[in-house]
Amino acid sequence: MTRTTHSILWGITLTLLIATPALADIASDTGPGCGLGKMLFNQPNFTGKHHIMQQVFASTTNGIGMQTIAITLGTSGCTNDGVFVSNQKVNAFAEVNLDHLRQEMARGQGEYLASFASLLGVPADRRNDFYALTQETYSALFKSEQTTAHEMLAALDQELSAHPGLVVQPSS
């Protein structure tokens, strides 16, 4: 390594060491929000403050982790002020399990479809009717291989509106 390169690296290192505590004071505790990274790296340092590198590690961990799912499902310290609407549960479940739902709706049975029916609030004694409906209306629910969860849910909502009593009250 040349003398110039060595001097530049030391300068950068020294700048970071001096600037980091100042930046940490400015950033206070808000950091990366929630998720696995925040849970792992949320411990204050010996001064009782959070170091900016902790926030960087937390943010990086969240970036490669599953923070989106944690936020959606309200896990890993991610909340929605304690309120989690059933519709959000249905949306999240459909998004994450769309391929399974696609297969099981085509067959008119399956564990994912049963869980989905429960989230929707389909009464236990009407589940077979619901399964049959999803099988009968499969081509309307999935117009193409590229059908998204949102599109499937909109189509299902339309189908269910023609069958009052099939969905009573979403479970919480």
51 lies in the same domain as 109: no
Q: Look-up: residue for tokens 């403050």?
A: 49
102 lies in the same domain as 143: yes
The confidence score (pLDDT) of residue 106 equals 97
Here the tokens at position 75 are 């896990």
The confidence score (pLDDT) of residue 17 equals 58
Higher-confidence position of 156 and 65: 156
The confidence score (pLDDT) of residue 129 equals 95
Question: What CA–CA distances, in Å, run from 35 to 31, 57, 68, 85?
Answer: 11, 12, 9, 20
28 lies in the same domain as 56: yes
Question: What CA–CA distances, in Å, run from 74 to 35, 55, 79, 154?
Answer: 9, 21, 5, 24
Domain that residue 137 falls in: 86-161
In a domain, 36, yes or no: yes
96 lies in the same domain as 143: yes
Q: For the segment 53-111, what is each residue's pLDDT rounded down to a tens digit?
A: 666 666 666 666 555 555 555 555 555 544 334 477 888 899 999 999 999 999 999 99
Into how many domains does the chain fold? Answer: 2
Q: Look-up: residue for tokens 């170091």?
A: 51
Residue 145 has pLDDT above 50, yes or no: yes
Q: For the segment 22-54, what is each residue's pLDDT rounded down to a tens digit?
A: 444 444 445 556 666 666 666 665 555 666 666
In a domain, 167, yes or no: no
DSSP string, 16-41: HHHHHHHHHHHHTTTTT-SSHHHHHS
21 lies in the same domain as 64: yes
